[in-house]
Structure 1
């Protein structure tokens, strides 16, 4: 069975950008429910014990919408926690160079990310991805994610569902996105993902079913990562 991964930092570590109350509600209630439903539905679908990435793709391929929604949301949230850090710093190195090639500047990238997320109608996710055309910003609706998007590899994501920000920002999604990028976005993690996309490192992977969680809260140097799929 899949377990709910613990946050890689304390609940209050992202304040004032995101409150401990928001993280408790988001992680302990919303994410926990997605994991529990995934365990229930994956067992019924005969996918119990398979990696979550495989469960998401199989559910999509077979059109099993309830399983896909819950499994994809479980994966998206686990990835999202790693996309934040209390030690946020501006993009550097290979990531900065790739951003500048694709968008012209880091500021232009941030503007594109905020605009894509703010303009997205309803619930979903806004992503920085890489692929054959280089880096770009895309958004997905509801539970949809990059695992089922051929040719796209995720570097960074921000949650656009209201439960991600409403306690702290009410309906002001744009202010949330701006603060998120400037204060807590984990560009070091995004750079590791970029290296994984190039086959130079291990990329993010959801903890295996039944994996032990030691409960440590720390900046992840690469825990739970995988090589990108071909």
Structure 2
């Protein structure tokens, strides 16, 4: 993806059917090629008339003060969040998943939540408890302290100075074709395809 305007749709890091049987190929195609593409195109359209902000990255668009009318600011922030959240989500999965968290991440999870199993339970319950559309995130602060929290719609944790290292999309378009209204089944399956190598990379990048 380009670092700034005009943003482009970043390809999936695997084939559409690579996550089956946990996530079906039709869901992946629609999620990436339609939903994410729409956020990219809408973000570019929202920034088209604002040259002063076209050099900002996604992260900067979400954090820096933008002198925009409220309606235009909402368009930029919602669509920038949609692009960032989806790109993170797609990178946090891989075919077959990773067998377990890498050493530094596992140690931090056990220190914070007591065990990997306890973390997974808290994470899934947080995702189940998100009313309507949104995400559940495992985030860290600059000191490396971990926390699980939800965000609504395409909000991000960056304005809170919290960096997402693992996140699951609980908008219905992420799972409804296969799981219908059974969000819990989707979440249990999703935990089988977590790319813990990427989680470790994000954790090492953000935690001092």
State whether TM-score is above 0.5.
yes
Q: Which residue of 1 aligns with 2:44?
A: 39
> Is residue 68 of structure 1 aligned with residue 77 of structure 2?
yes
Q: Aligned partners of 2:119, 2:207: CA distance in 1, in Å?
A: 21
Q: Which residue of 2 aligns with 1:138?
A: 149
Select the residue among 93, 96, 102 that pairs with 2:106: 96
Deviates more, 1:81-90 or 1:48-57: 48-57
Contact 2:166 2:199 in 1 (8 A): yes
Deviation string 1:146-177 (CA, Å, 9 cap, x unpaired) is 22222x11111110100001011101111111
Q: How do residues 83-162 of structure 1 correspond to structure 2 at under 5 angstroms? A: 83-89=92-98, 90-131=100-141, 132=143, 134-150=145-161, 152-162=162-172
Instruction: Please tell me the root mean square deviation across aligned C-alpha atoms, in Å.
Output: 1.6
Q: Aligned partners of 2:132, 2:39: CA distance in 1, in Å?
A: 19
Contact 2:109 2:119 in 1 (8 A): yes
> Is residue 80 of structure 1 aligned with residue 82 of structure 2?
no
The two structures have a TM-score, normalised by structure 1, of: 0.81
Q: Which runs of 5 or more structure 1 residues have no equivalent in the other structure?
A: 200-230
CA displacement at 1:187 relative to structure 2 = 1.1
CA displacement at 1:8 relative to structure 2 = 0.4
- Which has a greater percent of helix? 2
Select the residue among 170, 177, 195 that pairs with 2:187: 177
Structure 1 residue ranges, 4+ long, deviating more than 4 angstroms after superposition: 59-63
Contact 2:144 2:207 in 1 (8 A): no
CA displacement at 1:45 relative to structure 2 = 3.1
Deviation string 1:4-49 (CA, Å, 9 cap, x unpaired) is 0000011100001001100000000000000000001012233223
Q: Which runs of 5 or more structure 2 residues have no equivalent in the other structure?
A: 1-5
Q: Aligned partners of 2:16, 2:147: CA distance in 1, in Å?
A: 30
> Is residue 14 of structure 1 aligned with residue 24 of structure 2?
no
Q: Which residue of 2 aligns with 1:213?
A: none
Q: Aligned partners of 1:60, 1:27: CA distance in 2, in Å?
A: 28
CA displacement at 1:130 relative to structure 2 = 1.1
Contact 1:83 1:156 in 2 (8 A): yes
Q: Which residue of 1 aligns with 2:173?
A: 163
Contact 2:144 2:206 in 1 (8 A): no
Report the 3-state secondary structure (helix = DSSP H, G, I; strand = E; otherwise coil) of the residue aligned with 1:44. coil
Contact 1:42 1:48 in 2 (8 A): yes
CA displacement at 1:189 relative to structure 2 = 0.6
Contact 2:179 2:186 in 1 (8 A): yes
The two structures have a TM-score, normalised by structure 2, of: 0.89
Q: How many residues align?
A: 197
Select the residue among 60, 65, 69 that pairs with 1:54: 60
